[in-house]
Structure 1
Amino acid sequence: MIVRITGAFLRALLIALAIATPAILLPDIGPDSAQVVLVVALVAAGFVFAEYFSQFPTLIEFRFAPPVNRLRYFTAFAMILLLTVNRSEQALDTPIADLLGTLGHILVDAIDFPYSPVRLVLLALPDDTDPARVEAVRQSAGIAYLTGLSGLIAFGLLVRVYGWPARYGSFNVWINLPLFDPTGGGDVLSRLKRDSSVNIVLGFLLPFLLPAVVKLCGPGLGAKAMDDPQSLIWTMVAWAFIPVNLIMRGVALGQLAAMIEQQRRRTYAAAKAEILQTA
């Protein structure tokens, strides 16, 4: 009981810290904005605490299949922190902030090429957007996208090199995939493969589709979301992290499907060998 309460409280605290980071580090945050951030952080922390304190699964996936959720959290938190430091670089005025800012400029220049997701985000802005705002959006999009790619690479290494989840103990579908009903109809293996493919394809396409949707919805919609530093940070986090999360989920489901398929083959081979021995 004490261990479960401590773990749930620590996870809730980390979630609240991630949500409050832009409001803490960014300069010129108004009291109204700070109050809204505080309420959102408390609500999210309460939800995470209730999820991890409960012994029964409800919404959060891979609760007992570490370190997937930890990797997803640290990817999102790194994204939020780097974007916040980038937007408050002058206000912080520290060597670490200067180093992260310089590194961010170098990485953004490497990822900003024709038809890249970063370039498509810039194309979603109105033609008369201020050059300073365009540069801010370019840097934020590049940092968010590269951070997401780093998280995907780390997850790929976790799956391919370290053999997740087979080397981390048994995988219980019910407690790790509470939204997936094994008895919902059809073969479980086929459904897992289908969901895996859908998540991976959708996660790959979203960074390209979302700027086009914003452009079609209205020429000023993208600019309005980029006016405030906090809005810019959370817009870029949503644009980059949601696809990353979908791809991670797709890869995890695909890995689970591969494990089930291997187990079926071993079971069928053992049953066939037993039949041959008794024949």
Structure 2
Amino acid sequence: MIGSAVRALLMALLVVIPSLVLPGTSSDAAQMAALVALVAAVVTFAEYASEYPTFLEFRNAPPFNRLRFLALFFCVLFASLILASGQQDPALPPTVLQSLARDAASLLDFPYSPVRLMSIAYADVPVWFDTQTAIDIASLLLFVTLIALLLFWIHARFIFWPIRKTAFNFWINLPLFDPTSGRDVLFRLKRDAHFNLALGFLLPFLIPALLRMWIGAFDASMLALPEILIWVLCAWAFLPLTLMMRGIALFRVAALIEEKRRRAYAQQDELQIV
């Protein structure tokens, strides 16, 4: 119960970070953030306090959800701090985060990269919008998510996730996956893993195109609002991370099932020989 409450508080804190960090946040934006934070906290508490799973995958297979939360937390925090620093006196020297963001932009902003496509998507936003700041933030967030993805891959590949400490409960960790319906569970796991990895790879390229469509059809100035900019860039970086982590996790679960089947078949062959 205490762990569920702590997780709920952390989720609420994650949602209200932009309102706490950005100067000049309006009362309406603060109230909306508080409402969303309350909903996120209630849903998180109900999910982890319940004995039976609802929709959250890999609930009992750390550090899957912990890495996802930390990646999103740092993305929101870093984006908020950089935007808050950008609203200060331009004569002040850049902060450490601003310098890191510029270094990440120099590394990741190359032709046809997701960062370059995001900068093109924001090219039609009003002139007063600082496009370079958005590029720097996008580069830093992409770098953070790449680190999180690498850490999870290392953990899954070399540290025997998810069976290092406890057995893997298929129903609790994959509540929305019905192993009894459709084709063979191994085939479906690998198919879903391929789909998640492919979609996760394509999303950083597809989201800028969707933003261009939004800018062409609706008010482009909305995307320049600091709170909306933070969540758009965080979604652009975080959704691909989630999909690719899920793909890696499903491949790992499929490998465990395949290994268990191989052992079972080997035992049957030994019994038949005897």
Shorter-chain TM-score bucket reads over 0.9
> Is 218-227 or 35-44 further displaced after alignment?
218-227
Between the aligned partners of 2:262 and 2:245, the Cα distance in structure 1 is 26
Counterpart in the other structure of 1:271: 268
Counterpart in the other structure of 2:143: 146
Q: Decide whether the 8 Å contact of 1:200 with 1:250 is kept in 2.
A: yes
- How many Å apart are 1:137 and its aligned residue? 1.7
- How many Å apart are 1:159 and its aligned residue? 0.9
Tell me which of 174, 182, 185 is aligned to 1:185.
182
Tell me which of 212, 215, 229 is aligned to 2:209.
212
Counterpart in the other structure of 2:51: 55
The answer to whether residue 24 in structure 2 is matched with residue 33 in structure 1 is: no
Q: Decide whether the 8 Å contact of 1:126 with 1:223 is kept in 2.
A: no
Between the aligned partners of 2:120 and 2:76, the Cα distance in structure 1 is 23
SS in 2 for 1:56: coil
Gap change, CA 1:193 and 1:222, over 3 Å in 2: farther
Q: Decide whether the 8 Å contact of 1:137 with 1:226 is kept in 2.
A: no
Between the aligned partners of 1:90 and 1:215, the Cα distance in structure 2 is 25
Counterpart in the other structure of 2:234: 237
Whichever residue aligns with residue 193 of structure 1, its letter is K
- Normalised to the residue count of structure 2, the TM-score between the two structures is 0.93
- How many Å apart are 1:224 and its aligned residue? 3.1
> Is 62-71 or 135-144 further displaced after alignment?
135-144
Runs (5+) with no aligned partner, structure 2: none
Q: Decide whether the 8 Å contact of 1:125 with 1:222 is kept in 2.
A: no
Tell me which of 100, 108, 113 is aligned to 1:111.
108
Counterpart in the other structure of 1:64: 60
- How many Å apart are 1:126 and its aligned residue? 4.1
Between the aligned partners of 1:222 and 1:104, the Cα distance in structure 2 is 28
Tell me which of 189, 198, 201 is aligned to 1:201.
198
Between the aligned partners of 2:213 and 2:177, the Cα distance in structure 1 is 34
Counterpart in the other structure of 1:88: 84
Between the aligned partners of 2:95 and 2:81, the Cα distance in structure 1 is 9
- How many Å apart are 1:146 and its aligned residue? 1.1
Deviations 1:17-43 (A, max 9, x none): 111111001000011110000000001
Between the aligned partners of 2:223 and 2:213, the Cα distance in structure 1 is 17
Runs (5+) with no aligned partner, structure 1: none
Q: Decide whether the 8 Å contact of 2:214 with 2:220 is kept in 1.
A: no
Between the aligned partners of 2:177 and 2:158, the Cα distance in structure 1 is 27
Gap change, CA 1:220 and 1:260, over 3 Å in 2: same
SS in 2 for 1:152: helix
The answer to whether residue 256 in structure 2 is matched with residue 259 in structure 1 is: yes
Between the aligned partners of 2:65 and 2:124, the Cα distance in structure 1 is 40
> Is 126-135 or 175-184 further displaced after alignment?
126-135
Between the aligned partners of 1:6 and 1:86, the Cα distance in structure 2 is 33
- Identity in percent: 43
Counterpart in the other structure of 2:223: 226
Tell me which of 17, 20, 40 is aligned to 1:21.
17
- How many Å apart are 1:100 and its aligned residue? 1.6
SS in 2 for 1:241: helix
Q: Decide whether the 8 Å contact of 2:125 with 2:215 is kept in 1.
A: no
Deviations 1:100-129 (A, max 9, x none): 221121112111111000100111234474
> Is 163-172 or 245-254 further displaced after alignment?
163-172
Tell me which of 69, 72, 77 is aligned to 1:73.
69
Please provide the CA RMSD for this pair: 1.9
Whichever residue aligns with residue 213 of structure 1, its letter is L
- How many Å apart are 1:222 and its aligned residue? 8.3
- How many Å apart are 1:14 and its aligned residue? 0.4
Aligned length: 271
Gap change, CA 1:57 and 1:165, over 3 Å in 2: same
Q: Decide whether the 8 Å contact of 1:65 with 1:168 is kept in 2.
A: no
Gap change, CA 1:158 and 1:92, over 3 Å in 2: farther
